[in-house]
Structure 1
Amino acid sequence: MDVETDEKELKAAGAEPLSDGRRGLRIHGWEIESRKRSILNSSEHQLWEQKLQTSHLPEMVFGKSSLVLKHVNSGIKIHFNAFDALNGWKQEALPPVEVPAAAKWKFRSKPLQQVILDYDYTFTTPYCGSETIEIYTDYGRGEISQRTCNLHWEDCEEKIDVVSLASKEPILFYDEVVLYEDELADNGVSLLTVKVRVMPSCWFLLLRFWLRVDGVLMRLRDTRMHCVFDVSANPILLRESCWREATFKTLSAIGHPSDPAAYSDPSIISQRLPIIKHKTQKLKVPDNL
């Protein structure tokens, strides 16, 4: 999805592009930036394994890629990155998915070695984003202190207004950032991405973990966030998490295809997968912390 931003539309919405060659924009007190970088090199890969205390990582880890949404007045920064997502995978530590052809899979092993799938090779993560507070600690030097925080998200019954998102508002900024990907030795896909869309009235993002183990299992974990711009009040963020999951056997039993080729696009088949977990929360962003 390529979006060409019109300068007149940006100006009319009170937005401006980020400076210094950064990709993103400023709008209604928010700085929204996407960073797309190359995959980890071998030395970075080893360092991540040490930090995460694992000998397994996805085939492609875009370690320096991220999506960052910063509320300037409060210093709150909501961001999405591969390291924190993989830390969530490591902590959840799901049991490995049973695969009939597991003996033929060569996960990070030499061809003559026995393959033992004793870890969650799908890299499933419960990750729904990272939260940091940036505070200027030395106004003379302009130094910034960052600290991880746990913002106070409250459970709520409110829902993200999908009708407003389907309106004909101009899209001021759009991007999709891949955080990590693994093709499961050509037996499926494990993919974590985050997309953001900014309109004159709001911003909206989708963090999606998509798993397809061919012939065995499909898993979809979506986190959506939505913020409506309101100059008369502090921003309120809605965060909706929805986990879906089903086996190929279950789907086939109710008449859906058993061919993995029919499940290449998670957006199309998501409604076929039953919901196993759903939660909506809201956060009121303060003026400053």
Structure 2
Amino acid sequence: MLASLSTMMSHGFKSSKQDYTFGPWTVTAARNHIMKSKDIERLAEEMNMPSLPEMMFGDNILRIQHTEGYGIEFNAIDALKRVNNMEDAVKVACAQEWQESRADSEHSKEVVRPYDWTYTTDYKGTLIGDSMQLQVVKTAERINMEKLKAREQIMFFDEVLLFEDELHDHGVSMISAKIRVMPTSFFLLLRFFLRVDGVLIRINDTRLYHEAGKNFMLREFSTRESQIAELKNVPAALYTEPNDIAQHLTLKLTECERLELPGMQPGSDVNDVVP
């Protein structure tokens, strides 16, 4: 079995915090130890969920913040708030077994009830700022992925794991954020990856892109999902590789938004503000 990111991080792990300045923006990547059981139990009660992912990194954060205080960050707790705590979304043979195993653990004192045990989340980030925030406006504009493929020097790169669970050895559910900063732009990918062995593979991606000097960021959210039965012609070795399997999954949803900097008129055209 391939070593997971969390497994690699656990050996000789040291907490770290990196800051990188890009024009008026500061990119912060903080990695800390896994949450303690008692803290996970308390958080589960607050969220009205029978249990939380086995590996919770509640203090891990990837944040992009403007000098004026507004910006966007990505953290595990807000990601979990977008999980359905009322409905068992994937009904498979192992679901009941998995829930019962959690009910017997010392961390769960509640009666087992239906909820999304896969921890699927459509989290797209948390807007931050006290007096002002980025304004979210729907758009048809897309991130120029071809432009991102151009060879450009990477000034800063980091990846932060938010949570991971092996679903009682029946697959994996995990979400992580990674960012790269180039001389003229930055690009962030928040990826939720779910594999329920023998059942399905799902990827929820949030891509965030900003060019220096522009008065907005572009944010694209997509959901890709296929039943394992639909992937008969895909080598099983790819099932554990999100980057490789993504192109084989069926695109179910795409949402495009502009995150406009405060002071810009909502819905105004980019040509009005950028030469």
Q: What is the TM-score when the length of structure 1 is the normalising length?
A: 0.78
Q: Match of 1:262, SS?
A: helix
Is 1:122 the counterpart of 2:118 in the alignment?
yes
Q: Match of 1:275, SS?
A: strand
- Deviation for aligned residue 1:239: 0.3
Q: Which position in structure 2 is the counterpart of 1:66? A: 61
Q: What do the CA deviations read for 1:154-174 (whole angstroms, capped 9, x no partner)?
A: 211211111221222111110
Q: What do the CA deviations read for 1:197-225 (whole angstroms, capped 9, x no partner)?
A: 00110011000000000000111000000
Q: Which position in structure 2 is the counterpart of 1:220? A: 203
Q: Decide which structure has the larger Cα Rg and report it.
A: 1
Q: What do the CA deviations read for 1:217-265 (whole angstroms, capped 9, x no partner)?
A: 11100000000001xxx5310000110111111222xx334x4x43111
Aligned equivalents of 1:99, 1:51: Cα separation in 2: 27
Structure 2 unaligned spans of 5+: 1-15, 106-110, 265-275
Aligned equivalents of 2:95, 2:79: Cα separation in 1: 25
Q: May I ask how many residue pairs the two structures share in their alignment? A: 243
Aligned equivalents of 2:258, 2:38: Cα separation in 1: 40
Structure 1 ranges of 4+ moved more than 6 A: none
Is 1:97 the counterpart of 2:85 in the alignment?
no
Aligned equivalents of 1:90, 1:244: Cα separation in 2: 18
**Is residue 77–residue 134 contact of structure 1 (8 Å, CA) maintained in 2?**
no
Q: Which position in structure 2 is the counterpart of 1:30? A: 25
The 5-angstrom pairing of residues 274-285 of structure 1 reads: 274-285=250-261
Is 1:242 the counterpart of 2:225 in the alignment?
no
Aligned equivalents of 2:96, 2:219: Cα separation in 1: 40
Is 1:49 the counterpart of 2:32 in the alignment?
no
Q: Which position in structure 2 is the counterpart of 1:270? A: 246
- Aligned Cα root-mean-square deviation (Å): 2.2
Q: Which position in structure 1 is the counterpart of 2:145? A: 162
Q: Which position in structure 2 is the counterpart of 1:256? A: 234
- Deviation for aligned residue 1:22: 4.0
**Is residue 78–residue 130 contact of structure 1 (8 Å, CA) maintained in 2?**
yes
Instruction: State percent identity of aligned pairs.
Output: 36
Structure 1 unaligned spans of 5+: 1-20, 136-146
- Deviation for aligned residue 1:191: 0.5
**Is residue 238–residue 244 contact of structure 2 (8 Å, CA) maintained in 1?**
no
**Is residue 96–residue 117 contact of structure 1 (8 Å, CA) maintained in 2?**
no
Provide closer, same or farther for how the CA distance between residues 216 and 22 of structure 1 changes in structure 2, counting only shifts above 3 A: closer
Q: Match of 1:50, SS?
A: helix
Provide closer, same or farther for how the CA distance between residues 134 and 32 of structure 1 changes in structure 2, counting only shifts above 3 A: farther
Aligned equivalents of 1:248, 1:36: Cα separation in 2: 33
Aligned equivalents of 1:282, 1:55: Cα separation in 2: 36
- Deviation for aligned residue 1:273: 0.6
Q: What is the TM-score when the length of structure 2 is the normalising length?
A: 0.81
- Deviation for aligned residue 1:94: 4.5
- Deviation for aligned residue 1:110: 3.0
**Among 114, 133, 141, the residue aligned to 2:129:** 133
Q: Which position in structure 1 is the counterpart of 2:13? A: none
Aligned equivalents of 1:103, 1:127: Cα separation in 2: 26
